[in-house]
Amino acid sequence: MSESYEYEVVLHSQARADLDDAFQNAARHAPDTACRWVDRFQQALNTLSRNPQRCPLAPESRFVDEDSHEFHFGRRPNVFRVFFWIDEPYVRILRIRRASRRDLTRRDLEQAIDED
């Protein structure tokens, strides 16, 4: 594959809901900062359009037939894990979770897949 290849980054409905929940939580505590945070997060997600293979496989890959990668965003204690598949020509973002939360279950991933 050519180095100039770009994927289209697509957020599945559950990932959009996860991001919205994170934004709403941040906005309750710091509304001005929350807007800047979500903009930075979205910019970081867009970096997956180039070389998404740089991200390691998520431990949850064992639950599904596709390789699920993870991308980390933020600084401790506010690190988020982004779970995604590389499905040319797309990077499909399935879920967005705080890194401090437990790993996703098979059911969590299946729901994210089935909703779209």
CATH of the domain at 69: 3.30.2310.20
Return the structure tokens found at 33.
């900062």
Assigned domain for 25 exists? yes
Domain region containing 30: 8-114
Query: Six-digit token pair at 64?
Result: 């599904």
Give the neighbor-by-neighbor strand order of the sheet with 68-73.
8-11, 90-98, 80-87, 68-73
pTM: 0.80
> Torsions phi, psi of 86, nearest 5?
-100, 115
- Model pLDDT, residue 24: 92
pLDDT digits (tens, 9 = 90+) for 1-57: 445 689 999 999 999 999 999 999 889 988 889 999 999 999 999 999 999 999 999
